[in-house]
Structure 1
Amino acid sequence: MTEIAPIASPGFDGPWLTDPQHHAWLMQDARRQLRFFDASLRSDGGFDVLDVDGTPLPRAGQELHTTARMIHSYMLGKAIGHPGADRMIDAGMDYLWTRHRDAKWGGYVWGVDGETVTDGTKLAYGHVFVLLAAASARLAGHPEADRLHADIAEVIERHFWAEETGLLIEEYTRDWYAFSFYRGMNSNMHGVEAMLAAHEATGEALWLERAGRILDFFTARMAPDYDWRIPEHYSVQWEVDPTYSGNPMFRPAGTTPGHSLELARLLLQHWDLAGRPATGADTRARHLIERALGDAWLHGGGLAYTVDFDGSVLSRDRYWWPVSEGIGALASLIKLDGAEAARESDEDWYRRLWRYAETAFVDTARGGWFPEVDADGRPAARQFQGKPDIYHALQADLYPLAPGLSRQAGALMQGRAAAPFG
């Protein structure tokens, strides 16, 4: 394979989304990531977490979102013609149905290791990723996609969707005992992602309507009241819990700029699918993006993981996924205005994020992205070991290549990412 460098054409003055070399570099990195993560597939159909050099790390149970995200990621890989994508999708679909799926109690357990359940918790966060996997499998033409979709849709309806609030309930024990009163933004945000994918894959209007209700709560009700920083943690009555501090990765204290960037992209996707109504969704998305970048960009580069409600930085940890989501959000703003008419500040931010990602996170020698770096941009391993994720970084590569704000996966499946666009 011929190496394509640098990240964009030297001296190119136009928007990077119209630069053929930038498109070629994105596609090259996507293919490099997929080749790296091919090695995660085990002989029993599960997926190993890989060390930075691609060797499997010791097994500690396979988490539900990992299995589901691999299906989604390799659907995107199939869309760009990655050899062997089908075997990864097949393995993930079988593992979901025969290992994660709980034949006794229904739903999908969080952690498994072969036939052993390592964590039987039933989380909204994990179940919405199963919905995403079902939608992705349908786009990929998998024969068991409809079965998985029907099952997960029934589980979400029965246990997780609260019609009175238009939001998702968070967590249960394996036998469906609601053991906490916690409510959270993160699971609902990924619920929006999954519901929009389900709508795009099936045409079912219910998913679009429910995604809209979740988005309205967080972006039209909560964000404006908190100066466009979205509270993460809530009580059972959906009252903000400003002092909550839980799991340092999934439920950290404060607000999470990376989630604002992700939710802004999803807000634009929903708005586009809904026919671009005059609801101010596009303006809200811009407010979220500009606030997140303004708060979180650190001296020396990278995005702070968390900030307080006044915008002061709480955690300076530099992870790959907020930068990935920033790339997707800025690409969405540039597409919204048209690449040639996009704001100069949007183009500047898009380039800044990609330059930082290229120098700090992208492993051009072996493939995949380092998940965290220190203040000097060197790989670190405080929170993560190895390279535990392809999902965020692969989307950062491929979403700028799709021409629209919505139906991006479908566009890639139809081969509509071959040429730069204006």
Structure 2
Amino acid sequence: MTRVDRIVVDRAPWVTRVAFLASGEVVELWVEGADRPSPIGAVALARVTAVHRELGAATIAIPGGEASLSDRSVVEGERLIVQIVADGVAAKRPVARAGIELSDGPVVLTPGMPGVGLSSSIRGKAKRAGLKAALAVEVPAECGVLVRAGGADRPAEDLVAAARRLLQRWRAIQEAARTGEPPRWLEPPASAIEAARGHAPGVEPEVDDGGRLFEDCGAADALEGALARRVGLPDGGELVIESVEAATLIDVNLPAGGRDGFRRANEAAALAAVRQVRLRGLRGTVLLDLPRMTDRAARSRVVQLVTEMTADDPSPVQVLGWTPGGMLELVRKGVRRPLADDLLEVPAEPPVSPRAAAWSALAGVRRELGRIARPRLSVAPAVARWLDGPGRPILEAERARLGYLEVVSDPALGRDAYRVESED
């Protein structure tokens, strides 16, 4: 298992690019434009604008827009303190929760969720009992505190001091909420650099304002690959990655090989696909279409390897296993926007083919026959090329049937548009 041991930040006035590396390999990438910063972690005073009882959710007004809330029952018009926990993607709003978590290194304050929790990595009965007692004294009964694994080697006094600071922050948030009107930020969104520190605790980001470091560590190449539809595999073959709003499908094409080579290639391809899932910041359901394996032990081995690899992903990944159709199904609960959401053009409705567009245009000519004796058909250039190439027999047959038909290429027309006029 490998964990992030280096963070490289390329900072420009218009965008911040962050690369997370483990043992020299880029394992995760963030790209955050100055015009669209991530609000994750920010705390806001919000107002409920709509309650969707059938969904068990509500819409709330936050600074700059709206968010979805589903972890608490609310009434329309209610004021409440919320924290943004996931970016909005495409038409989906950001996700907020009423359960606030404030962190300072490995220490987390949970207002409204009482109790003291310690990571299992903090060992020793006496040490655990002493730390619990010290934290319980600092934190009021209505709050809770958690110490994560990163605090295992920290002195108890440092952890207690962090809890004190967090309690001061929470009280300041409460005071600002009492005197303010929603929607407003009570703690504004953190910078990408600050967020990166929290994403990989204990690793200090290396900030470069020139872009050279981002190139030298391999992040620029990794970013280019993370945006590609086709990704080559080291031993041949490729991954073909298609994302839609509901899910992502990763198709694996392997070179021909023997039975043993096939197993190893399938395992390597599965791991390469999982690397792409994290690198691209994919969210939701991922279906991995590996060449069919009938050996149950081989299938179990792939699931085991994928499960082990995803254990290092800071975003929880659930490996659901094989579907009846033979695909490996994963669900990644990512919170940040996928790279494609910021860097690729939003896919529109698929354009019709020139062939189908030509059929529609010729049907339009037929509808005009009673009005136009010598029709001139204007179409998009791609449609005109199809009619002059593969579709020429159809065009010639229509000319013979109609007695006359002129086709004109018009760059101003969209592929599914056409214009029928009289040549006279």
Query: TM-score normalised to the size of structure 2?
Result: 0.25
Higher relative contact order (CA 8 A, sep 6+): 1
In terms of fraction of residues, the more strand-rich structure is: 2
Query: TM-score normalised to the size of structure 1?
Result: 0.26
In terms of fraction of residues, the more helix-rich structure is: 1
CA radius of gyration, larger in: 2
